[in-house]
Amino acid sequence: PATDQPAVDSSDKVLNDLIDVILSNLAEDRSEVRQMATALAYNLVLACTQDFVPSGPWKAAAESSDMNAHALQLLCGCLEGLSNEKDRTVRIRRLTIACRICRTYSTTVGSLLNDLGFSDSLQILKADADITPPVTTEEKVLLGELLHYCQL
């Protein structure tokens, strides 16, 4: 039977499914699966943020002051449990994705990071010398940038 649903709904469904795949694979035990998930997430974020402005499927929400729901899901998924990540490649990709999203939504993301408690966990990760693998200089720079957004 014919459906009255507009084509936009099918693209939203595809994005919802893609986000679900990414987030579920971030929790996988095998590091190569988590690496694939973060590569996919980063490419999605690149496609949806041009010059740190929401674009493509994230552009519609940009007309309001709200953060796109997919961007929010990816941001939270990348920051959740970050200090427990044992694969350096996955951890740096998660930080890079979070920074890209924060740069795009810089005016609204700070209070969100604080309200969700990510500010504290980012500070702990940056300062904890016992994290395995050790936090690299590059990761500390990304953590510093994320903490900067928490202060806005």
Give which of 56, 30, 61, 59 is closest to 43, Cα–Cα: 56
Q: Is 44 exposed, middle or buried (0-12, 13-18, 19+ CB in 10 A)?
A: buried
Residues across the chain: 152
Give the tens place of pLDDT for each residue, 27-82.
999 999 999 999 999 999 999 999 989 998 888 655 666 889 999 999 999 999 99
pLDDT above 80 for 11: no
pLDDT at 30: 97
The 10s digit of each residue's pLDDT in 73-113 is 999 999 999 999 999 999 999 999 999 999 999 988 989 99
